[in-house]
Amino acid sequence: MTAPDPTTRGYDHVALCYADDRELLASAVPFIAGGVERGDAVMIALEPARAEVLLNAVDQPDAVTVLAIGAQYARPAGAIKSYSDLFTKLVTDGAQAVRLIGELPAPVLATAWDVWARYEAAVNYAFDRFPVSTLCAYDARTTPPAVLDDVAKTHSLLASPDGNHTPNPTYVDPPSFLARTRPTTPHPVQLRAPALELVDPAPGDARRAVVAANAGTLGPDALDDLVMSVSEIVTNALRYGLGPRRLRLWVGVGHLVVTVHDAGPGPADPFAGLLPKAGHDGGGYGLWIAHQLCDHVTLDRDASGFTVRLTMGDPHQAV
Amino acid sequence: MRGVSRASDAGGREHLCWAFTDLDAFTARARDFLADGLAAGQRVCLVAPGDRDGWVERLRDLPGFDRPGAVAVRSLDGLYGRGAVVDPLGQVDTYAAETDQAVAEGFTGLRVAVEATDLVRTPAQLAAFARYEHVVDRYMAAHPFRAMCAYSAPELGTDVIAKLASLHPRGNVEPLPFRLHGWGASGTVALDGELDLRSHELFPWALRHAGAHWDGEVVIDARELGFVDHHGLLDLDEYATRRGLSVVLRTRRFSAARVADLLGVDSVRVEQVA
């Protein structure tokens, strides 16, 4: 395959692992130029400096929409929703196809890749209803090898230095990729004993415990979002999990970490949390809402059961 | 229980749901309730099953009993046939007319204590009476009519009692996750308490019955609603959509508006208020 066919609905998810600006431009410039030429909606979501390099290299920079990456890549489930909303609007407004070049902010590759790896797998499914091509840029000089390994499993196409896109032989279908289990790295604050532990709390008890423990650590809106998320996750544990359900809470500088563990297997849906589930039974919405509202969410499965970890604030501040 | 009663309503209007375990307990509470009405210059009325004269005797020593027209006693046995289903709007019209008449005759209003167990025994009776409870509650919010609705807990069970209590602003049924009731002179709908796992079954039921006579845009004063999870918002949206209603939920909770926005609910608008 040398170029995505914009007349065919469906998602082309292309990984671009570049070694320098020359390689970035070699793939990105023809991708953008081809899109502009066709009249596609063309967008970039890159660090400002890198966006400038790219815009200086294309013929019609005014035809390119620049998205703010801070907002766009704040949370994986939020990115799926906002991109889906954006693609829907563009197509509704008449765009025949959409081309997007994006690059995750460097810090999330180091501290939140677990959940962004799930994002990269889930979008193959979530965006497949749109005539969209995305070029996901990763700087091979600074991206950790483990991240590059996941990138190679989650993108259906690879960008070649000559600008072509070829099928990726190491691509893993999303449900298989998402079904893997990897232990979550504890946040620094979790190396201490939790400030609070509740066994089989009612959702209201859990909410009040979080509010009491916060003691001004989070601002009111962030606290309200965390309380909502905790309530939803505890509700899921009570409705669908197996006892005992155990809530643990840690208070760090400017952040709160809450884990909710139950002895059950967790949701069977591999996309749980990243995509909302239609209908309002089954627990899909609660996990999705937590992913939308919290700064970082991880899901863990091991022999003892299923654990959701909710983080609000920056867990890498001094504790 | 947190947040299920409005602090500003303390000592205010009374539409009580009173669960009792035996007749003596009902009698004692009804006497107190009616005595308060007589002291406030209201016409009072007791409605209960059984012998009317017996009930008259149980009230005869109340202060103010002898004021002409101040006390009425009706036996429920004669008012409805067995298994009768109340006509919600017709019943409210009846009480509205009686309230007007009491005021016209120099009373400050009308106050009724009803032993209503016999009116909610079957599912059909319960459904109709629940609809009536909300309509009359909103009438009471705006008019000088007060009522104590008493139900036998042993005969009806905690599930039915909780359903009925959720449609009253006050009462002795605790704990109760939420109350959906009338509020203010314009008969606004109010929602107090918390909507979470404990209300996942009760709230849709309460909504279905309380909302039966809503139409157009319905403003729900949810300032005293301490929490609403996504189930509560979806329940509200699904009900409003099915009925063609537009619901405005006025809440102090930041997250309620956020979650409503995430869910993309069409028939509910969440307004954050102070």
Q: Which of A178, A206, A221 is the last residue of a domain?
A: A178
Residue A313's CB is within 10 A of a number of other CB atoms, namely 22
Number of domains in chain A: 2
> Is position B221 within any domain?
no
Which stretches of chain A sit within 8 Å of chain B by CB? 81, 202-204, 207, 220-221, 224-225, 227-228, 231-232, 235, 238-239, 280, 285-286, 289, 292-293
Is B197's CB within 8 Å of A238's CB?
yes
Is B259's CB within 8 Å of A289's CB?
yes
Domain that holds residue B117: 7-176
Band of pLDDT at residue B183, cut at 50, 70 and 90: confident
> Does one domain contain both A249 and A308?
yes
For tokens 């406030």, name the residue: B40
> Does one domain contain both A29 and A172?
yes
> Is position A3 within any domain?
no
In sign, the C-alpha dihedral spanning B19, B20, B25, B31 is positive
For tokens 């499914």, name the residue: A125
> Does one domain contain both A170 and A198?
no
Which stretches of chain B sit within 8 Å of chain A by CB? 2, 194, 196-198, 227, 229-231, 234, 238, 253-255, 258-259, 262-263
Is B255's CB within 8 Å of A225's CB?
yes
Sequence-distant (6+) residues with CB within 8 A of B234 are A280, A285, B263, B265
Closest to B229 (Cβ–Cβ): which among A232, A238, A292? Answer: A232
> Is position A4 within any domain?
no
ipTM computed for the complex: 0.88
> Does one domain contain both A214 and A154?
no
Q: In the predicted model, is pLDDT for residue A147 greater than 90?
A: yes
Picking from B136, B232, B18, the residue whose alpha carbon sits closest to that of residue A289 is B232
Is A228's CB within 8 Å of B231's CB?
no
Supply the pLDDT for residue A123.
95
Q: What percent of chain B has pLDDT over 70?
A: 93
> Does one domain contain both A30 and A161?
yes
Supply the pLDDT for residue A110.
84
CATH number at residue A274: 3.30.565.10
Supply the pLDDT for residue A112.
87
pLDDT digits 0-9 by tens, A289-302 = 999 999 999 999 99
CATH number at residue B108: 3.40.50.300
Domain that holds residue A108: 10-178
pLDDT digits 0-9 by tens, B205-258 = 999 999 999 999 999 999 999 999 999 999 999 999 999 999 999 998 888 999
Task: Map residue A197 onto helix, strand or coil.
Answer: strand
> Does one domain contain both A88 and A199?
no
Task: Give per-residue burial for A261-289: e unless 16+ CB within 10 Å, then b.
Answer: bbebebbebbbbbbbbbeebebbbbbbbb
Band of pLDDT at residue B17, cut at 50, 70 and 90: very high
As given in the structure block, the two tokens for residue B106 are 């120099």
Nearest-5° Cα angle at A164, A162 to A167:
130
Q: In the predicted model, is pLDDT for residue A85 greater than 60?
A: yes
As given in the structure block, the two tokens for residue A311 are 């983080």
Alpha helices in chain A (DSSP H): 21-38, 48-57, 69-72, 76-92, 106-111, 113-126, 145-154, 174-178, 203-214, 220-240, 284-293
Minimal-distance CA residue of chain B relative to A77: B262
Picking from A317, A219, A299, the residue whose alpha carbon sits closest to that of residue A262 is A299
Q: Which of A152, A178, A204 is the last residue of a domain?
A: A178
- Report the pLDDT averaged over residues A237-249: 96
> Does one domain contain both A144 and A280?
no
In chain A, what's the furthest Cα-to-Cα distance? Answer: 62
> Is position A2 within any domain?
no
> Is position B13 within any domain?
yes
Number of domains in chain B: 1
Supply the pLDDT for residue A213.
97
> Does one domain contain both A138 and A234?
no
Closest-CA distance of chain B to residue A164, Å: 38
> Is position A183 within any domain?
no
> Does one domain contain both A42 and A119?
yes
- Report the pLDDT averaged over residues A36-49: 93
- List chain B residues with CB under 8 Å of A239: 197
Q: What percent of chain B has pLDDT over 90?
A: 84
Length of chain B counted residue by residue: 274
Supply the pLDDT for residue B140.
92
Band of pLDDT at residue B5, cut at 50, 70 and 90: very low
For tokens 């909300």, name the residue: B134
> Does one domain contain both A173 and A34?
yes
* Average pLDDT score over chain B: 91
Minimal-distance CA residue of chain A relative to B234: A280
Picking from A58, A6, A67, A2, the residue whose alpha carbon sits closest to that of residue A33 is A58
As given in the structure block, the two tokens for residue B159 are 């599930």
Supply the pLDDT for residue A284.
75
- Report the pLDDT averaged over residues B54-62: 96
- List chain B residues with CB under 8 Å of A203: 196-198, 229
> Is position A141 within any domain?
yes
> Does one domain contain both A94 and A240?
no
Q: In the predicted model, is pLDDT for residue A107 greater than 90?
A: no
> Is position A5 within any domain?
no
CATH number at residue A150: 3.40.50.300
Q: Which of A150, A178, A206 is the last residue of a domain?
A: A178
Supply the pLDDT for residue A2.
39
> Is position A104 within any domain?
yes
> Does one domain contain both A202 and A222?
yes
